[in-house]
Chains A and B, each alone.
Chain A
Amino acid sequence: MSSQRIAVRLVTDVVLALAIALLVSAVAHRTGLNAATAALVLHTTVLLLAAWRTFAAGIAASLAATASFTFFLDPFGSWRVDAPSNWIALVSFLIASTLTSRLVSRARHEAARAEARRSELAALYRLSVELFTATDAESKGRDTALELSLAALQARGGGIVAISPDGSVTRERWHGVEDAHLLSRCRTALQRANPASFPAPAGSTVCVPQSAEGSLRRVFVAVETRATPRAVESVGALLALEMEHDRALAASAHAEALEESHALKTSILRAVSHDLNTPLTAVSLELDALARELAEDPQAMQRIMSLREDTTILRRRIENLLAMARLEAGAIVPRPEPVSPADLFLGVRRHMDLATPGRSLSIQVEEDCPEIDADPSLLLEILVNLVDNAHRASPSEEAIEIRAEQIPDGVRLTVADRGIGVPHGEGAGEEVLLQDLPSRGLGLEIARAFTAASAGKLALLRREGGGTLVRIDLPAWNEAEAST
């Protein structure tokens, strides 16, 4: 309200109060009311004016009522105010008008505050509905959420500001008018760790500290808002929640997409495996049939044996390529279980019987060697690849040795041959770095990758007396944990 309007209202109230007080007193004089009744009527008039109009009207009415009480009542026409009854009347009128106008003013103020709070709550409710029920990304973009928040606060501008330890300010999200004192105001709010309100041309600018993320500290700012700091704080919290909600939705969508992608990769690899293995089985069976039909022809049998060997190599390579594809596609998730080294070596022997019949394999399992805590299919892939490498790199009359023993931190598996897999050099038992190898086939690569996936460690060593020794250290299965 402008000061001119306030002055006009004040004058109107005073004139009105004087007029009514004089009118009531004149009527009381004409009708011949006694002093007590006239005082009661004037008292009521003062109360009504104080309640209906302003504090000034109440005071004016009190003074006018005292004056007219003195003037109109006996003795009529006298202005003696020293009579005790007149003083009592004046004090009584003043107290009544002051108390009433104060009470009415407070009630009006509380009602206005309650109305403002109700409006803020309604705006907050509308905002939360708009922020959290519109899940469609197109209907609720990042900026839309901020615009809705600022509109709910009747702010002319604002957003989320990030302040780094070196004092630089980044407007992570901003909409509408700028604030010239943004950094200092945000710092004040951060120092107080509470909302800070600053007077502005239209309303106030409110800065609300938000939760910190690492060294970054964020502040929600509403520029020239009519809302209370508490409402700004609530909207800031809602906006932060909405951002968190958006992040969670995005993370969930990402996880879902990853899961779908993982399932798709697994399914494709399984289909590829099926489609590659079916014709390979047919080729093997065809060779079996040919071998039976041409059993009497030594030359044909020799060629069939050679073809069988090629088929076995092809089969192994396909398995390795698929294993590598699974590993790279993230489709291999190790599922550890207790693996008995003897069982594992039985699997290796079965593989050798099929792939390299006649090749001698020496198996040793140390007494009381614990079980390995690893994925059995990965362990089998590791050993089969290492044994295949050993088979190719060493003379066929030399046995390939595999051994399992207990070590302080787990189980050690070794595959040893007398071949040429690692370059000759000084010092038996010396570790050979993989990058120093003249060639690293897919088999060794798979053994290395699967050992790492099994929480193990693979090392290549020069064997005493010539040859290669591959050492794989793996965790042992904890029997005590399983028993409980």
Chain B
Amino acid sequence: MSLRVPLILFVDDDARLRSLVAAELRSNRYEAIVASNGREALERFRDVTPDIIVTDLAMPESDGFDLIEQVRRESQLPIIVLSVRNSDTEKIRALDLGADDYVVKPFSMPELLARLRAQLRRRPAEAHSILRFPGLVVDIERRRVILDDREIRLTPTELALLELLVSNAGKPVTLAQIVRRVWKGAPGTSFDTVRVHIRSLRRKIEPNAATPRYIATEPWVGYRFIAEPEEE
């Protein structure tokens, strides 16, 4: 991992929140720059190339959606959006435009820091063909899954689903993205089809049905692989 301190661009129209978050980020060993709207954030992004953008969605002049759209034309850097409760349509729209995750306002700093760590961790992991999580190993190249030291058999669809989720560990994957990536957008594939296969996958990999360890549902949005990858 690079020794360079990650640079976070925080975008929100509330000046007090901007200065508080920036101070908190700096005290947690991040570098932070701020912007008050999407247009200003885009200028900052082009000037300094941050490692992650954290942006509010509702802002005057140029909002968070505009920012995500513009940034995604030029870069694949992680984007976390700040949304309010019960705004799943906004979340899905932001994720479909290319955002990587969301945090619901009011958020706590530990919550935001956890999401930042997950995004920073995810980037180098993408290059690996073997992904290791507590109790679970997914060998993407050999198409093998080891659960608690025992190889388990998955159907090709379940394996494709698991591969998609683990390669995006920590990040919500929308139902539409799953249909597009696993079923290649095959006609007749509904979100219920995805749910049926997810349930089948869970039965095979979740040791305790009452407390999921690996796959969590993001209501209306999709699924998130919640286990943290093991350090190599």
CA separation between A322 and B16, bound complex, in Å? 24
Asked whether, in the complex, the Cβ of A376 is within 8 Å of the Cβ of B219, the reply is: yes
Given the interface pairs A337-B220, A377-B86, the reply to whether A364 lies near B107 with Cβ below 8 Å is no
Chain A residue total in the interface (Cβ 8 A): 44
> 1/0 contact trace for A346-380 toward B, CB 8 Å?
10010000100000000111010101000011001
What is the predominant secondary structure among interface residues of chain B facing chain A?
mixed
Given the interface pairs A289-B24, A343-B217, the reply to whether A365 lies near B210 with Cβ below 8 Å is yes
> 1/0 contact trace for B1-26 toward A, CB 8 Å?
00000000000101011001101100
Q: Is B216's beta carbon under 8 Å from chain A?
A: yes
Asked whether, in the complex, the Cβ of B27 is within 8 Å of the Cβ of A482, the reply is: no
CA separation between A369 and B1, bound complex, in Å? 44
Asked whether, in the complex, the Cβ of A277 is within 8 Å of the Cβ of B196, the reply is: no
For residue B116, give the distance in angstroms from its CB to the closest CB of chain A: 14
A-contacting residues, B107-161, CB 8 Å: 107-111
What is the interface of chain A, defined by CB distance below 8 A to chain B? Answer: 270-271, 273-274, 277-282, 284-286, 288-289, 292, 315, 319, 322, 326, 335, 337-343, 345-346, 349, 354, 363-365, 367, 369, 371, 376-377, 380, 479, 482-483
Task: Kindly name the residue among A340, A367, A371 whose own CB sees the greatest number of chain B CB atoms within 10 A.
Answer: A340
Known: A345-B210, A483-B192. 18 other contacts (CB 8 A): A273-B85, A277-B85, A277-B106, A278-B14, A278-B17, A282-B16, A284-B106, A289-B20, A319-B85, A341-B210, A342-B209, A342-B210, A345-B211, A364-B210, A365-B209, A365-B210, A371-B199, A380-B219
- CB-CB under 8 A from A270, the residues of chain B are 58, 84, 87
- CB-CB under 8 A from B16, the residues of chain A are 279, 282
For residue A211, give the distance in angstroms from its CB to the closest CB of chain B: 43
Asked whether, in the complex, the Cβ of B84 is within 8 Å of the Cβ of A289, the reply is: no
What is the interface of chain B, defined by CB distance below 8 A to chain A? Answer: 12, 14, 16-17, 20-21, 23-24, 27, 58, 84-88, 105-111, 190-192, 195-196, 199, 202, 206, 209-212, 216-217, 219-220
For residue A329, give the distance in angstroms from its CB to the closest CB of chain B: 13
Asked whether, in the complex, the Cβ of A346 is within 8 Å of the Cβ of B211, the reply is: yes
Given the interface pairs A277-B105, A343-B216, the reply to whether A285 lies near B24 with Cβ below 8 Å is yes
- CB-CB under 8 A from B24, the residues of chain A are 285, 288-289
What is the predominant secondary structure among interface residues of chain A facing chain B?
helix
- CB-CB under 8 A from B195, the residues of chain A are 337-338, 482
CA separation between A315 and B219, bound complex, in Å? 21
Asked whether, in the complex, the Cβ of A346 is within 8 Å of the Cβ of B212, the reply is: yes
Asked whether, in the complex, the Cβ of A377 is within 8 Å of the Cβ of B105, the reply is: no
- CB-CB under 8 A from A363, the residues of chain B are 210-211
CA separation between A341 and B206, bound complex, in Å? 14
Asked whether, in the complex, the Cβ of A342 is within 8 Å of the Cβ of B211, the reply is: yes
Asked whether, in the complex, the Cβ of A342 is within 8 Å of the Cβ of B212, the reply is: yes
- CB closest residue in chain B, given A368: B209
- CB closest residue in chain A, given B18: A282
Asked whether, in the complex, the Cβ of B105 is within 8 Å of the Cβ of A285, the reply is: no
CA separation between A281 and B216, bound complex, in Å? 25
CA separation between A335 and B220, bound complex, in Å? 9
For residue B55, give the distance in angstroms from its CB to the closest CB of chain A: 14
CA separation between A302 and B86, bound complex, in Å? 33
What are 18 A-B pairs with beta-carbon distances under 8 A?
A274-B105, A277-B105, A278-B105, A284-B108, A285-B17, A335-B220, A340-B212, A342-B206, A342-B209, A342-B210, A343-B212, A343-B217, A354-B108, A365-B210, A371-B199, A376-B219, A380-B219, A482-B190
Asked whether, in the complex, the Cβ of B220 is within 8 Å of the Cβ of A376, the reply is: yes
- CB-CB under 8 A from B20, the residues of chain A are 282, 285-286, 289
CA separation between A292 and B111, bound complex, in Å? 16
Given the interface pairs A270-B84, A289-B27, A319-B85, the reply to whether A282 lies near B14 with Cβ below 8 Å is yes
- CB closest residue in chain B, given A340: B217
- CB closest residue in chain B, given A375: B219
Asked whether, in the complex, the Cβ of A337 is within 8 Å of the Cβ of B23, the reply is: no
Asked whether, in the complex, the Cβ of A482 is within 8 Å of the Cβ of B17, the reply is: no
CA separation between A280 and B106, bound complex, in Å? 6
Asked whether, in the complex, the Cβ of B17 is within 8 Å of the Cβ of A326, the reply is: no
- CB-CB under 8 A from B107, the residues of chain A are 281, 284
Asked whether, in the complex, the Cβ of B196 is within 8 Å of the Cβ of A482, the reply is: yes
- CB-CB under 8 A from A279, the residues of chain B are 14, 16
